[in-house]
Structure 1
Amino acid sequence: MLDGIRANAQSWGVKLAFGIIIVVFVFWGIGGQPGPRGIVATVNDRNITELEFRQVYAQLEQNVKNSMPGVTPDMLQSFGLEQSALQTLVMRKLLEAEAERVGVEISPYELRRAVESMPYFLDEDGKFDADIYLTTLKNAGQTASQFEDSLRQDLLPEKMQALLSAGAYVSPQSVRNMYDYQQEQRKVNYLLFPSEKHMAEAAPDQADIEAAYKERAPLYSMPPRVRLEYVALNPAELSDPSSIDDAAVAAAYEARKDSFFVPERVRAAHILILVPENASADELKKAEDRIKAIEERIRSGEDFAAVARETSQDPGSAAKGGDLDWFERGQMVPEFADVAFALTPGELSGPVRSPFGFHLIKVEDHQASTTRTLDEVKDELRAALAAEQAAAGLQDKADAVLAAVMGGQSVTAAAGAQGLEMKDTGLVSADQLGQTLGLRASDVQSVMSTPAGETLDAALATDAGLLVIRVAESLPAMTRPLDEVKDELVATLTRDKARKLAAEEAEQARKGFADGKPGADLLPEVKESEAFGREGYVPGLGLGMDLVRAVFAAPLKDAGKGVWLEGAFTVDDGAVLASLAEVLPPDDTAWVAEGPLREQQMLNERAAVMFQAYIMELSKNAKTRILMPELVQPKAAPQL
């Protein structure tokens, strides 16, 4: 679960960039040599440990299972997750080294903000709950220090991506062109040849049904399933904050005072003029002259935010008038931070040189470091202490329920005696079980291998608390029998065959067009569709990707000229012949509203491409050695 939490802290752009490493491996190669025990590979002078590798592999495996609930072990083998895990870690090590080179790090404030924003650690009011945080980590067998060190490693690529992609740019015209392309709509005139009239002749015989069932058997496979009776013990639900007196809260505050420290921070805005890493003296002077000219405009009275929107080359802040929000000293490169923290609110800096270019910095506010007072934190601290108290007695309650069930009581009765209730999962697969109850993979395996009628001999830990589980029913993997799926299979086969017959009818009619147009007998049947886009759905006809592609490929000059497209196109209700009736360009009013969002989307895409190119360059010059090839070698895909 913790890997999943950290995964949510990573940006899409970083994940997208992982794929580029595959190309690097293909063209630049990775050496393989035996090495020290526990070291999977080295990247320049940095080690990739076996523990790191196994953690990333487990995270990738869980991601696949979450997106493909029915995935089988054989399918997992075919995905080459070993290589993906290695590629991920190689990129991480390269970015760590690059971050050190330019002085970028994840500050304590950034780390805390990331932790406090994670939904896993929020209470019912949507506020960060330190007790939920610590309990979740404890149940997962990690300390806060271990989790935060790992999270810091995951956040660094995201921060590096933002810095390295700061020069991304798209022209207003290219944004508008893409918007027009995506939002253009068209209408068609069409003749529908319904599949309904062919349904009787399309009905399959028994031989067709049996052949189709055999061919589609994998579609009807069911994984092993279980039905569980369980009792959930959650410290957050069982806690009673009113039982914690003021003296206990005050004592806990003194003991935990360090956790309430708020570091010095600044709120500032900036204007950035980018300078390439290996800029020539001429390029450097041009950039410096430009930032000085911008400085002069602001000192002459122009609004900083307005000038930032016009001139700044930082896509992340330019649209916000250069606003960087609050940041701590360690969040910025030293050259930037040293100046920002020396300015007074309202003061404008002169040009500041950093690894990324020239900045003008304007400080809006400056807050000294402080420690939150007991008054400010007493409510959340009281709740945390109550939950800790409940957690301490949680195992005793679980043991009491377990002993009663083992002694012959029903789960319902045993739970009721402790003021708890029994719940039933219904029939669920292993993947559904992990998602529903939040069990670890090893615990899911234990549950799935427990015979029906038996109770697990120990309560299982989850992020929320403890579970006492009895397996009420257990079904093996199976293929649904033909009798069970026959009706839906017959309906599918009949519908598909009827559409095919309708398409043949339409093709025949198209051949009979005089001068490429339908005859008098068909003209009354011609209808005009509503407007539709490129997504594939045509109002009144349903899904028809082939039709939509052909319509949007038709020349603009053919619109309304009665030029019928070649061939017939299948849709939900049969087959159609069609001609382009009208082209509707996007509405300018909608563009005004959506343009900024579209520009940001294209900027994000361009930034991702820039980041990929940067990673490619780092990888090209890296010396990577595999020391445990047996661990990272992809498993052979099963033979079909």
Structure 2
Amino acid sequence: MLKVIREHSRSFLIRSILWMVVISFILTIFLVWGRGSQGLSGSSTAVSTVGGVEISAESFLRLYKANLNRLQQSISGNIDQQWLQQLAASQSLNDLINEEVIVQEAISRGIVVSPEEIRNHIMERYEIFQQNGRFIGQEKYLEILRASRISPSEFEEAIRRDVYLQKFNLLIIDGITLSEAELKEEFKRQREEVSINYLLFQPAAFTDLIVPSDKELAEYYKGNKENYREPERRRITYIYIEPIKLIREIEVSEREVQRYYQTHLEDFKIPVQRRARHILFKVSPNATTETEEETRKKAEEVLSRARAGEDFAELAKEYSEDDTTAQSGGDLGYSSRGRMVKEIDDVLFSMEINDISDVIRTRFGYHIVQLTDIQRAYYQPLSDAEVRDRVEKTLRAEKAEQKAEELAEMVYKEASSGNDIKAAGKQYALEVKDSGFFGKEERIEGLGKPTLLIDSVFSLKVGEISQPVRDSRSYYVFQLVEKKDSYIPPLEKVKVQVISDFKEKGGKELAKRKGEEVRKLLGENPDLLAVASQQKTEPKSPKPFKRGEQIEGLGLVPEVEKRAFAIGVGEVSEVVTIDQGFVVFQIVAKDEPTTEEFTQEKETLRETLLQQKQLRRYSAILTRLRERKKIIYNQPLINQLMS
């Protein structure tokens, strides 16, 4: 079985399943297990129970921190940190539940993991346990695990579970195939293009025609009072503690630096890198078979010259059509596995230095590749100034986080003892701020919209003090000072908004009526351009589009797209409601892919569709397995751990 796993380990599907279902459990063992059980004081409380088996708070918190860190590093831009925290928590809990569900099912199906498979798995996945391709020996193995604060039984149990997961994954996807008819149908669906003319009737063009009377406004307000309800609003006084501001007070010892480096050694590993040159002969996606064959023959001729001893770099300068690298002799620089297109990557990492590849076909065209150097994998030493700085910064951040959490707890206890947050602020020389009134769906001035904090605020009674709440930046302790109940204001207070809403509603009705009138005319004379001219309405003729693409002037409109590919050339749609208003369109032309195009791209398409089909099957089976299990969630504990 492990031989099969090795052969499939690079496939997109296996990687996707392991990532989506268990967040690459085995690849994060050192990160998740190597931090010990800090922060929970040995609590064994379960965040969830799956089929009677508990998932511990420790397991959840470790994976939650790892996932949150990964998300924060991989997602750039102005992202709501509260949303990231919730996403990380949801992912972590689902991953742990899915893993337990799969392991239980694998065992029930009689799948067995032998000690030999565990040993092989460790050797295949962890170079740290190898020396010159051999096992480093039991003594050194145990020494590394001790340094990582993992017992051998814990580590090997994690490996055993990972092998269970991989065996079960392969069992589920085995035997899934695709027919030629399925491939053709999907190829047509992806490549078919349609051209339309359309008329757009927008409500804004009709709103000036709507002049409501006082009676009409009163009746409209009466029938839609709930739309104008003011929400319940609350006001708090609060203290916030930012860990980042405590970092300058934190010191770390040499012993702590050494220990962190040893227990996170894999974080400082630089993988094997290979340097190569290439010569590219471009092939257009629309190239004919004859043109492609001529290009391939040219590539073969240059390959023969390179293998006969001509200077590869000079040949690249003369023949390569890669504008970026040609003048540097085709130099691609150093690359680790997985960084190049798969066709080149697979060949490059099977070559010896100075080897020249056969002609390789990729989506860009034909390539010839020469391996020029190999840089072996190595660990960045702690003596490297950047590595040491990284370790020290991480340790300071962790200590600052712990110090902020402890300070927040002390503030909470002091405030609770006298039911006075201002006294607690004075005790610890911390500023107490006033939020002003805010609703549950509104932003708090100076804080934004921290979901966990707002949820806590709306669960308190007036005068009550919250336990510490953690968001993306700070710890908060707050006291509910005052609340205003929800109410519906009188018409006079919201008259401007009522008028606007009434006119908007009337504009939509008139726009739709105009669209239906034009559609009726098109039933008598199915020529959209002629009818548009008669009605003094401007038609639009966007460029052809495929499924899933934006339509010029309309954007992404699935309602229009679905009908456009369902009716024939010359046919006219019914009135279609979209966000911008109402659309009527006529099909001008349809362009279907050729048999030749299908033949050229069939195998690439087959691989993609097969992966999608396998993933759908796997997801469906996992969903059914989860439905059969009794899964209990401890939401209060999960919320507590997140904060």
Q: Which has the higher contact order (CA 8 A, sep 6+)?
A: 1
